Structures are given as C-alpha cells and as structure tokens.
C-alpha cells in the first residue's frame, strides 16, 4: 500500500532481479530473492525536526554461479548496462561543457537573478537531504543470504549468512537516541544482532516462492533460539522438506552481536 502524501509507504513481497548483483560480481546470479516488506515513514510537516523511519523485513536471497561465457541473457543485459553507462557519461560531459561555456559568457541582470535562484534552490535541497539523512532511522530484520554452487554434485559448495536485526539510530554525543542536532558532527549508533555464518552440504529444495521464504527464515531460527515453540515449528517445517535442522555446530561464526558508534563530519 502506498500513501506518500500521508508520509507512509509500504511495499510487500518485492522480487529481486536475477542480475541485480551483476555490477558487483558478474559471476553471481540471484536464483531467488524476496523482500517481504519495506515500510517508510516521512513526517512531511516536520522534516527538519522529526525522525524518518525505514523498516525492511524478511529479506531472503539465494545466490548461485552463472555461466558468463554461454549465457546469452547475461551477455545481452551486460551490453545494455555498458551502453547505458556510456550514454550517462556523455550526458554528464555535455552538461559540464555547457556549464563552462555559459560561465565564460557575460551575464545579464536577468541571468544573474536566475543563477542566484538556482543556487538558493540547490542549497535548500542540499540542506533538506542532509537533514533527512541525519534523522533517518533504519531497521532491518530477518535477513538470510545463501549461496549454492552445485556444478560439482559430489562436492557442492553451500554457505550462508544471516542476522536477526540491524538498526541505525540517530543519537546525541553520548550515543543515546535523540533527534539530530545542529552542529558539524552527526552521531549514529549501528547495532547488528544475531549475525551468523554457516556451511552446509545440501541444496535447498525450492518449489514455490512461499516455500522458499518460509524455509529460508525457518532454517536459521534454531541457531538463534528465539523460543521453544518457534524452534519446534521451524524444525517441523524443515523435516517436512527433508532438511536437517541447523545447529550451532553448523556455524562458521556463531550468533553474535556487534555495536558501532559513528561520529560523522557533516562538512
């Protein structure tokens, strides 16, 4: 549901494109990827003083290798991206050239007024964006990313990473939650909860999107230990699909928490 005019936007069950990571690593393709929910809160009446909130929930991604040499879809998509990047570079170069030429010409009074107006608008937009970023709170929960390489069936490569919660909070100089204050330094507290890495030897049996999300979220619950009832339900779902419930012994990095305190120079 969308309601941008009211300051609240919610998007659900967003599918990730298979080539979404091509620019980061051309050898990796997204075999399946779903973002369960994205919720954005923007206080239009108090953008400079109130916090904005971005919440992302239930992100599950299954990665795998792609055959770069013989995949015609990948080659076509890569060529399209390269052509678009060239067009973008040419457009930026043309804009810069026109700006240099116009600056070398004498300005009329009307041109000077227009230039000052553009500078004022640019300054206001820059201040607005900076304040939004300063007051932006980010919460991301239940994220599970898994990589499967089954090109050698006798020696499959399967590993994954997950975390229960990531929070980025605006704070004061004592790193207590507070609205962003005027001044040259912005303070942020980054908290990462229940982050874990694991390795396995069996692929994930995926038949439908609903099963995929349910299994990806269920398989990491036992290592978090959120509660006996939840763990039991997760284990039952895994066994129903022929999967062994995961334990802490499967972890390359056991669930742990991380806290980072940032002091950002606004200048």
Cut 0.85: pTM above it: no
Q: What percent of the chain has pLDDT over 90?
A: 19
Q: What is the mean pLDDT of the chain?
A: 79
Query: What strand order describes the sheet that includes 136-149?
Result: 2-3, 8-15, 28-41, 52-65, 136-149, 157-171, 185-200, 251-265
Q: pLDDT tens digit string along 91-107?
A: 888 777 766 666 555 65
In this predicted structure, the answer to whether residue 38 has a pLDDT above a threshold of 90 is: yes
Cβ count near 14 (within 10 Å): 13
- Tokens describing residue 2: 């969308």
């Amino acid at each position: 549901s969308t309601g941008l005019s009211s300051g609240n936007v919610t998007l659900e069950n967003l599918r990730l494109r298979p080539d979404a990571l091509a620019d980061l690593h051309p050898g990796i393709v997204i075999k399946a990827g779903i973002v369960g929910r994205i919720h954005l809160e923007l206080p239009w009446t108090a953008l400079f003083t109130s916090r904005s909130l971005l919440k992302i929930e239930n992100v599950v991604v299954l990665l795998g290798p792609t055959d770069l040499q013989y995949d015609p879809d990948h080659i076509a998509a890569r060529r399209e991206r390269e052509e678009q990047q060239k067009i973008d570079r040419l457009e930026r170069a043309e804009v810069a050239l026109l700006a240099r030429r116009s600056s070398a010409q004498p300005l009329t009074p009307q041109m000077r007024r227009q230039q000052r107006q553009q500078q004022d608008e640019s300054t206001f937009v820059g201040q607005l964006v900076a304040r939004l970023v300063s007051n932006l709170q980010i919460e991301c929960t239940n994220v599970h990313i898994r990589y499967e390489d089954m090109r050698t069936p006798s020696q499959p490569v399967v590993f994954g990473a997950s975390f229960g919660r990531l929070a980025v909070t605006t704070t004061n100089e004592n790193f207590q939650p507070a609205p962003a204050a005027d001044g040259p330094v912005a303070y942020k507290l980054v908290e990462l909860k229940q982050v874990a890495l694991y390795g396995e030897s069996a692929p994930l049996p995926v038949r439908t999107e609903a099963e995929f999300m349910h299994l990806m979220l269920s398989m990491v619950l036992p290592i978090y230990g959120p509660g006996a009832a939840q763990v039991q339900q997760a284990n039952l779902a895994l066994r129903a699909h022929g999967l062994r419930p995961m334990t802490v012994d499967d972890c390359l990095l056991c669930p742990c928490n991380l806290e980072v305190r940032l002091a950002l120079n606004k200048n």
